[in-house]
Amino acid sequence: MLFPINPNKLNHLAGGMGDLRHNHFHAGLDIKTQGREGLPVYASDEGYISEMRIQTRGYGHVMYVTHPKTGLVTVYGHLKAFAEPMASYVKQERLKKQTFEISVKPAPNEFPVQKGQLIAYSGNTGGSAGPHLHFEIRDGRNNLLNPLLFGFTEIVDNTPPVFQEIAIKPLEIDSRVMSDFETHRYSPTKSNDGSYSIAGGEILANGWVGIELMAVDRMNYTHHTNGLNCVEMLVDNQEAYFFHLEKFPDAYSNDINIHLDYPTYKSSGKKMQKLFIDDGNINLPVYKPLVNKGKIFVKEGETRQVTIKIWDTNENMSVMHFTVKGQAISTNTPTLTPSNAPTQVATSTKDNTLIISAKNLKNSNQVCKVITQSTVESLPIKFVKNNTAIYLWDLRKGIPSSIRIDSTEFPLGIQKAIYSGVDQTFKTLGTSIFFPAESLYDTLYLNTKIEKNKIQIADALTPLKKPITVTFKPLISIISPDKTAVYNHDRKFLGGTWRNGEVTFKTDILGDFQVLSDTIPPKATLVNKTQDGFSFHVSDNLSGIKSFKATINGKFVLCDYEYKKSLIWSVKSDSTQNFIGDLALELVDNQGNSKTYTAVIDSLKAPQAIKKSLDKGHEKNRKK
């Protein structure tokens, strides 16, 4: 195969195969273009162009080339433009359909290509954070393959990966790490021989524990970091965990959310990879099936020798060593100083365990009574931390409605256990939530809260595998349902269908949602107008721009849209077209609000004005 850009020259990467991204493994290579757009992009092998898309987000301008001789498909994303004659073909299809976004699938005999043929120009379209070429190689089953395994000499790398953080966490209710039921984190240090270790070299634990890793790969000639290609963990010189990202199905890319410690990622941004196969992680074919799936059992007095090896695609390797020593769990009553202050109770869940933290207890050996629908059980203090008593309850034994400490009863918010693998519906206060069988990785201990126009569904620290469907009945009257929709905690528009005062919507995340009204149409400000082109700066206050249409003297004008720059600009249908006359731009937002902005182009002005405007936007984006 031919390297698709600057072939036979040294190239650098801004991203690699399998990088840990938000909600997905990165699907290919991000090849740097020195901050420039418009570099020639070449077909990596002979074949035919099977699809071309122009989309606002995602890969922006993207081309798919099918290679029948090898059964592979190459993908070229974030392009500035297609080369001729493909560019004219796509333009004519857009003119026919009077649309900006489009997907066309030419017949195999329409656009055959040879290896090394110019097919496009690099850009920064779609969800790109800066100019580069996104390049993928897929097989006939839509598996994503690692392009660096195809022997491209344009990428040079002899720099090994770097350990950044190690964590060890208890996996069962009776497990402990450093006499605690919490995850403990360690910063590795690099020795003179290049290996890594942790301070003291030893971690105390008991029971089933799991190791987590944060590490990145560094490459020559770039400050960007990439993901790991391979991870192996040995326990007492026996392979306990093995991960190798040679290829993976595109359909399972969002399973990164079970490969990572998702709550840690959402709360801190740290991308901690689990070095064990967690419950619900059943689809990704990137692990070796091993006994205990990477989980480590530590007995009292036992010492487990742990070695972690990490590789990049070029087989540069780093290694880390530490020990996990079995610590005795004390059978003595934990020491706690009683207090006359009001008792304070906080609860949280970790997997199947309810963690109850109680401050200002009246007795040093105070029990906690757990009240379920059928039983009342007394829990002893498991351990004391900062004079706070910690109690643990296995939620598989029953979901408590409340707990009682110091004669005070505290209600709990867990309403129902939602199990993975089965369809389930939860109803409360006129609201229903449908969880399809494939929506969860593991059991969700659901709590909801409804206030006025808001609903909280569990929290954002729990990932969804597939979307759920919510029918929400706000506790306030909605005056204009046709102008009201559902938004998530980031105020992202989710839409929804209204019926009898209820709105039904789908979401692929949990957390906080609210219904908001949007009655204000999008805004447009004319930036340039000449006989050779025009451009507008556009914006919307809430729901976001859904569509736009420009006309000159009532006739459709093709336009491009770059949402990152909030710019819409005209595209000539051919070299003879001019834009003299009555200009109109209609904008419609996702809530159906629309407004038409007009201007008159009646004079010959500098034809470079629009180009300068766009170049200024590109320069501004580069500085960002």
Q: What is the pTM of this model?
A: 0.91
pLDDT at 195: 96
**622 membership: H or E segment, kind and range:** helix 609-623
DSSP labels for 501-519?
TEEEEEEEE-EEEEEEE--
Q: Which CATH number fits domain 13-150: 3.40.50.980, 2.70.70.10, 3.40.50.300, 1.10.760.10?
A: 2.70.70.10
Chunked mean pLDDT (size 10), the chain, 624 residues: 96 93 94 96 98 97 98 98 97 96 97 98 95 97 94 94 98 95 96 93 96 94 89 98 94 96 96 97 95 96 97 96 91 80 92 94 89 91 90 95 91 94 95 97 96 96 97 95 96 96 97 97 96 96 96 96 96 92 97 96 58 48 44
Rounded (to 5) percent helix, strand, coil in the chain: 10, 45, 45
- 11 Cβ neighbours under 8 A, 6+ residues apart: 3, 5, 31, 32, 154, 155
pLDDT, tens digit, 9 for 90 and up, residues 421-449 = 999 999 998 899 999 999 999 999 999 99
| Topology alike, domains 13-150 and 523-617 | no
pLDDT at 603: 66
pLDDT at 132: 97
Strand 230-235 relative to strand 225-226, pairing: unpaired
Domain ranges of the chain: 13-150, 162-326, 344-411, 417-517, 523-617
DSSP assignment letter at 623 = H
Taking the C-alpha atoms of residue 186 and residue 169, their distance in angstroms, rounded to an integer, is 12
pLDDT, tens digit, 9 for 90 and up, residues 602-623 = 865 544 444 444 455 444 444 4
pLDDT at 291: 92
The reply to whether CATH 2.60.40.10 applies to domain 523-617 is yes
Q: What is the CATH number of domain 417-517?
A: 2.60.220.30
- 276 Cβ neighbours under 8 A, 6+ residues apart: 171, 210, 211, 241, 293, 294, 295, 296
Taking the C-alpha atoms of residue 460 and residue 344, their distance in angstroms, rounded to an integer, is 25
Q: Do 23 and 254 contact (CB within 8 A), yes or no? A: yes
